[in-house]
Chain A
Amino acid sequence: MNTSSFPWLIVLTVLPLVGALAVACLPPAAEALAKRLTLAWTLLVLVVTAAIALGFDVNAKRFQYVTSYPWISQFGIRFGFGVDGIALVMIVLIAVLMPVVILASWHDGRTGTRSVKTFFALMLALESTMIGTFVSTDTFLFYVFFEVMLVPMYFLIGSFGGARRQYAAVKFFLYSLVGGLFMLASVIGLYVVSSNAGHPSFAFSDLAKLNIDPGVQKWLFLGFFIAFAIKAPLFPFHTWLPDAGAAAPIGAAVLLVGVMDKVGTFGFLRYCLPLFPDASAWFAPVVVVLAVIGIIYGALLAMGQTDMRRLVAYTSIAHFGFIALGIFAFTTQGGTGAVLYMVNHGLSTGALFLVVGFLIYRRGSSNIADFGGAAKVVPWIAGVFFISGLSSLALPGTNSFVSEFLVLLGSWANQPVATVIATAGMILAALYILLMYQRTMQGKLNPDLPEMNDLSRREAVVIAPMIVLILALGFFPKPVIDVIDPAVKATMQDAGKSDPVPTANSGGRK
């Protein structure tokens, strides 16, 4: 199947877009039909993704399902598609999250200023562009998806979001666009470098072979890095995320924090490290410092939040610090841990956002102070809330523990000081999650709480796969690690890094 020339990835990218057009063409009154069609469509995409994932051969060469067609031949731009292990786990994550999110958003479209079908069409368009960023192997094509991805998200936040949706939508768009334009400057720079080296090309495989002058590398790296650091977001480029995360409708927030932000960390691995190895090494200390600041700062600010959605957004900033630390530690364990973290964070934060969404739907408020003792009223919701929270704080037995442990293990060899500080972040994580749980679920029952029903059947279907995956990946992460590992090894090889050999006495020489 891998050797077949059928363009599976193009089909996968275009399929949700076709669905989006179909949903957009429905009459505005057909709300139920729009929802059902969207759900069916995302399940179809899940099936195609599953087929692709099953056909992926872990032991074969890094990029599979490779297809490439000329697009703008004057600039050597091609429709280049292909997946490696890293991209594969990300598209699987997208495909799994989508139906969950659609089902969770069943009543969301109605709160907006535009029709319900628009909401679902935008969600499908977003899925298409997100898949596109992960499966494109042409740097230019990646940039195109990277930018176009903003448009559906902008309208999702701006038209269907909460109280400060305008402010949040514009801030989100401008931050990302500015980052994207920095990247554009670097993409143009890459074009010049590659045309000076022979024929212009944007294909990742061609660019990775270039030997770019270290001085030039630094500038090109910076352009990509700023774009990805804003996207990820890394401290101090993060201020848009709490606003966007708090204002977005829950479904869009899950995708924003769960998947879209991973494009940034994915970009570090796919583009920054292999294309600019010298510059990556040169900038690594700075990035690691930013990552560690992000871990501590994100955690401290999360503790101070009074709004659950902002709290979850701030926890993500801390988690992205871990991911960046793992990537810029330049070890295979660190890199694999970071990629696994990307997946796990999508699941645990996704679950957390979904449960918070259930609570907001019932209470009409996301303020922590508006709850209190709610576990007595809605024990099932409290239960899934607790499990999602434990996953977010990386308790052993949940998925996040494996990835966080791998990241710390991998970065210890090259960045011991940063690793020690980052470990403190784990303690803070326990604090912010448990404090939130305590204040909302336990203690005296808040007399202002309205009548609340426990988990509905639809909500149970929404949250069940998330909980199952959280526990399953906590106990048996091997299949995912097996897929990720070869791609990370290849990335580190491209970056010219080999793993330091651990020695028994390295810690005890004194």
Chain B
Amino acid sequence: MSEQLILAADKIAAPSISYWALLPMLILLGAATVGVLVEAFVPRSARHPVQVAVAGLGLLASLVAVVALAVGDHARTGTTFGIKTAPNVVVIDGPALLLQGTIALLGLISVLLIAERSLEPGGPFVANAAVVAGSPTDREHSASADSQTEVFPLTVFALAGMMLFVAANDLLLMFVALEVLSLPLYLLCGLARRRRLISQEAAVKYFLLGSFASAFFLYGVALIYGYANTVTLSGIRTAIDESPSNDLLLLLGLGMLVIGLLFKAGVAPFHQWTPDVYQGAPTPITALMASVTKVAAFGAIMRVLYVAFQSVRWDWRPIMIGIAIISMLLGSILAVTQTDIKRLLAYSSIANAGFILTGVVALTPAGVSSSLFYLIAYGFTTVAAFALVMLVRDADGEATHLSRWAGLGRRSPVFAGVFTFVMLAFAGIPLTSGFSSKFAVFSAAAGGGAVSLVIVGVIASMILAFPYLRVIVLMYLNEPAPNGPDIVIPGLYTSFALTVGVAITLVLGVYPGWALDLANRASEFVR
């Protein structure tokens, strides 16, 4: 026994780590740490601009690093990407790079929304989160122009976790990344300046249910370790291939693992948190969760399913098809009954998660690339949608109840025009990214033999068109409500975020070729 230990100790050498490949994540973690130091050392009055600069530049640098990595790796190896580093627990392959780039860019846009302070004094975040909501001190604070600038390092930590999440080739590391991305999000949900109790309720709900999901994930990892004796994805794959038959441990573990991941992605029937949290969280954070978190969660789902569990696909595929169907139908049907724009978008995101799953279960390279494309397209449209929601305000802050939106088309034609475009994109009208991405996943699914999914998907799209259309009708064809909300002229940050979101929605609809090509070339997971 002791001999073995000594032998093992001899073998331990410093792992070779390609820091170059980890650079995007390292930059983000560094920026987040700097952000924490800023909180400690920079005077309160100067914190906001400094934090915005640190987070923004960090994300920009990280994005540049991802691009440089992709271009450099492409030049070196020719066609495929694939760096395994930190003894095989992190993989920087095509999907990882594409998703990391998407996360960085969407994260940057979300940070701009978070930084926006021109819509109301102090921005959308509470001045002092530790004060009891509704207390005299709280009322005093709510009038001040301060806000908790800790949101910036928290956001950047979450984004770093997401980047790691999509590149993790090891279930334990994936779990760590999951927690790194989740914990800041729980906190961020509770920091709204207005309607603090709803916001805090959302945070608690998200935290409790999220903890359950994490527990499921961890339990799944334990069971799979029991089966495969390893937690690396490639190791699990080898173990499955070598094992003569399916094992209960494996299937149970896989099920638990997937439940944890589907929860993060907001897929029905693991979606219950989504509407409440989307509604309660500060809108920029909702934008972050609806776009970037979804990208990260689906990246991880695809990696786990395609890399580790490819061999038992006939066991999980029917179940995933069922889940996709439930998610599409449930999300679209419940979206019809919503009266709050944020809840409507939440249910639509559940349906859209089902659409993405449609691509995932195609089990072909086209399936991967179309899902990646969908994630990118949907992410930008969603950010634009929530950015627009931020602009409709009355004396109580954002006016999210749909009845308040009546007649906005007449009072603010530009806003209504842009929002109509975004709604049409969600509804999947051609010449928007919503259409090209739906077409991509549906054709991939049909090509992969999942015709039933395509039919359900088309039906769900029909149902889903109704709530979107209703918003358009409300804005254009209804009489404006007396003392209705105003459209606030967006500041520079929001304008920029909005422009990028809408422009990408349009470009990916009219000329999606280059992005599809990019997704195609990045569609191969390294095993």
Q: Closest CB-CB distance, A215 to chain B, in whole Å? A: 12
Binds B, one of A13-21, A71-79, A233-241: A71-79
Is A192's CB under 8 angstroms from B443's CB?
yes
A173 within 8 A of B: yes
Q: Which of A161-218 contact B (CB under 8 A)?
A: 165-166, 169-170, 173-174, 177-178, 181-182, 184-185, 188-189, 191-192, 195
Q: A74 and B516: CB pair below 8 A? A: yes
Q: Does B473 contact A (CB under 8 A)?
A: yes
Q: How far is the CB of B424 from chain A (nearest CB, A)?
A: 7
Q: B461: which A residues are within 8 A, CB to CB?
A: 181, 184
The reply to whether A174 and B466 form a contact with Cβ atoms under 8 Å apart is yes
Q: Does B17 contact A (CB under 8 A)?
A: no
**Given A74-B517, A148-B429, A188-B454, do A113 and B410 touch, yes or no (CB 8 Å)?**
yes
Contacts of A155 in B (CB 8 A): 476
Query: Are A159 and B517 within 8 A (Cβ)?
Result: no
Contact status A165-B458, CB under 8 Å: no
Nearest CB on B from A439, distance (A): 33
Does residue B318 face the partner (Cβ distance < 8 Å to A)? no
State the interface size on chain B (CB cutoff 8 A): 34
CB distance from A77 to the nearest CB of B (A): 9
The CA of A181 and the CA of B513, in the complex, are separated in Å by 22
Of B428, B446, B459, B511, the contact of A189 (CB 8 Å cutoff): B446
Instruction: Please name 27 pairs of A and B residues whose Cβ atoms are closer than 8 Å in the assembled complex, sorted by A.
Output: A71-B513, A72-B436, A72-B511, A72-B513, A73-B513, A74-B516, A74-B517, A113-B477, A114-B410, A147-B430, A148-B431, A151-B429, A158-B477, A159-B477, A166-B477, A169-B477, A173-B469, A174-B466, A178-B465, A181-B458, A181-B465, A184-B439, A184-B461, A188-B446, A189-B454, A191-B443, A192-B446
In the complex, B447 has a CB within 8 A of chain A = yes
Give the residues in chain A near B442, CB-CB below 8 Å. 184-185, 188
Nearest CB on A from B470, distance (A): 8
Residues of B near A70 (CB, < 8 A) are: 513
B37 lies within 8 A of chain A by Cβ? no
With the chains together, A449 CA to B429 CA distance in Å? 47
* In contact, B443 and A177 (Cβ under 8 angstroms): no
User: How would residues 435 to 461 of chain A score, 1 for a CB under 8 Å from any chain B CB and 0 otherwise?
Assistant: 000000000000000000000000000
Q: Which of B431, B476, B477 contacts A144 (CB 8 A)?
A: B431
Contacting pair A158 B476 (CB below 8 A): yes
| CB of B512 closer than 8 Å to a CB of A | yes
One digit per residue, 1 when the CB lies within 8 angstroms of any chain A CB and 0 when it does not, for chain B 492-525 equals 0000000000000000000111001100100000
CB–CB B476/A159 < 8 A: yes
Instruction: Tell me the residues in window 285-308 of chain A with beta carbons closer than 8 Å to chain B beta carbons.
Output: none
Q: Is the CB of A195 within 8 A of B447?
A: yes
The 4 lowest CB-CB distance pairs between A and B, nearest first, are A144-B430, A185-B458, A74-B516, A166-B477
Kindly list 11 other residue pairs between chains A and B, CB separation below 8 angstroms, not including A114-B410, A170-B469, A191-B443. Answer: A75-B443, A144-B430, A147-B429, A173-B469, A177-B465, A178-B465, A181-B462, A188-B446, A189-B446, A189-B454, A192-B446
B209 within 8 A of A: no
Question: What distance in Å separates the Cβ of A201 from its nearest Cβ neighbour in chain B?
Answer: 13
In Å, the complex CA distance between A56 and B167 comes to 59
- Chain A residues lying within 8 Å of B424, measured Cβ to Cβ, are 151
Residues of A within 8 A of B (CB): 70-75, 113-114, 143-144, 147-148, 151, 155, 158-159, 165-166, 169-170, 173-174, 177-178, 181-182, 184-185, 188-189, 191-192, 195
In the bound complex, residues from chain A placing their C-beta under 8 Å from that of B512 are 72
Q: Report if A185-B455 is in contact (Cβ < 8 Å); known contacts: A74-B520, A147-B429, A177-B462.
A: yes
Complex CA–CA separation, A174 to B470 (angstroms): 11
Q: Which residues on A sit within 8 Å (CB–CB) of B459?
A: 181
- CB nearest to A219 among chain B residues: B451
Min CB gap B429→A, angstroms: 6
Interface set, chain B 422-462, CB cutoff 8 A to A = 424, 427-431, 436, 439-440, 442-443, 446-447, 451, 454-455, 458-459, 461-462
Contact among B430, B439, B446 with A148 in the assembled complex (CB-CB below 8 Å): B430
A188 touching B516 by the CB < 8 A rule?
no
Query: Within 8 Å CB of A182, what residues of B?
Result: 458
**Residues on B with beta carbons closer than 8 Å to the beta carbon of A74:** 513, 516-517, 520
Q: Name the distance in Å between A350's Cβ and chain B's nearest Cβ.
A: 27
Which of B430, B447, B454, B461 has most A Cβ within 10 Å?
B430
List the A residue with the shortest CB-CB distance to B429. A147
| Residues in A whose Cβ lies below 8 Å from that of B473 | 158, 166, 169-170
How far apart are the CA atoms of A414 and B455 in the complex, in Å? 35
Q: Across the interface, do B458 and A174 meet the contact criterion of CB distance under 8 Å?
A: no
Contacting pair A192 B430 (CB below 8 A): no
Other-chain contact of B439, A75, A158, A174, A195 (Cβ < 8 Å): A75
Q: How far is the CB of A306 from chain B (nearest CB, A)?
A: 26
CB closest residue in chain B, given A147:
B430
Assess A72 versus B476: contact at CB under 8 Å? Given A148-B431, A170-B469, A185-B455: no
Report the minimal beta-carbon distance from B444 to chain A, rounded to whole angstroms: 10
Residues on B with C-beta less than 8 A from A75 are 439-440, 443, 516
**In the complex, A435→B394 CA distance in Å?**
57
A178 and B469 CA atoms in complex are apart in Å by 13
Complex alpha-carbon distance, A374 and B257, angstroms: 79
With beta carbons under 8 angstroms apart, the residue of A158, A166, A184 that contacts B458 is: A184
Q: What distance in Å separates the Cβ of B277 from its nearest Cβ neighbour in chain A?
A: 30
How many Å from the CB of B258 to the closest CB on chain A? 27
Instruction: List the A side residues contacting B410 at CB < 8 Å.
Output: 113-114
Residue of B nearest to A191 (CB): B443
Q: Using Cβ atoms and an 8 Å threshold, which residues of chain B touch A192?
A: 443, 446-447
Asked if residues B462 and A178 are in contact (CB atoms below 8 Å), the reply is: yes
CA distance A72 to B439 in the complex (A): 12
Q: Which residue of A lies closest to B370 (CB)?
A: A74
**C-alpha spacing A159/B477, complex, angstroms:** 7
Closest partner residue, chain A, to B369 (CB atom): A74
**Residue on A nearest B448 in the bound complex, by CB:** A192
How long is the Cα–Cα vector from A159 to B420 in the complex, in angstroms?
A: 15
Question: What are the residues of chain B within 8 A of A148 when measuring CB–CB?
Answer: 429-431
B64 nearest CB across to chain A (Å) = 27
- Bound Cα distance A181, B454 (Å): 11
A73 to B514, CA, bound (A): 9
CA distance A279 to B340 in the complex (A): 45
CA distance A389 to B447 in the complex (A): 52
> Restricting to B141-186, which residues have a CB under 8 Å from any CB of A?
none
State the CA gap A144–B516 with chains docked (Å).
Answer: 18
**Complex Cα–Cα for A181 and B462 (A):** 7
Q: Which A residues are CB-close (under 8 A) to B465?
A: 174, 177-178, 181
Nearest CB in chain A: distance from B461 CB, A? 6
Of A144, A184, A188, most buried by chain B (CB within 10 Å of CB) is A188
Q: How far is the CA of A207 from the CA of B343 in the complex (A)?
A: 43
| Least distance between B391 CB and chain A CB atoms (Å) | 21
Enumerate chain B residues within 8 angstroms of A114, measured Cβ to Cβ.
410
B443: chain A residues within 8 A (beta carbon): 75, 188, 191-192
A170 to B517, CA, bound (A): 37
Q: Which residues from chain A contact B476 at a C-beta distance below 8 Å?
A: 155, 158-159
Looking at the assembled complex, report how far the CB atom of A267 sits from the nearest CB atom of chain B, in whole angstroms. 16
How far is A74 from B366 in the complex, measured between Cα atoms in Å?
10
Residues of A within 8 A of B478 (CB): 166
A163 to chain B, nearest CB (A): 13
Q: Are B439 and A188 closer than 8 Å at their CB atoms?
A: yes
Residues of A with C-beta under 8 A to B447: 192, 195
Shortest CB distance A452–B (Å): 32
A-side contacts of B454, CB under 8 Å? 185, 188-189
Closest to B466 in A: A174
* Nearest A residue (CB) for B513: A72
Closest CB-CB distance, B241 to chain A, in whole Å? 30
Q: A residues within 8 A CB of B431?
A: 144, 148
Q: Which of chain B's residues has its CB closest to A173's CB?
A: B469
Chain B residues, CB < 8 A from A170: 469, 473
Complex Cα distance, B440 from A98, in Å, reads 37
A75 to B462, CA, bound (A): 23
Q: Smallest distance from the beta carbon of A493 to chain B beta carbons, Å?
A: 30
Chain A residues near B513: list those with CB within 8 A.
70-74
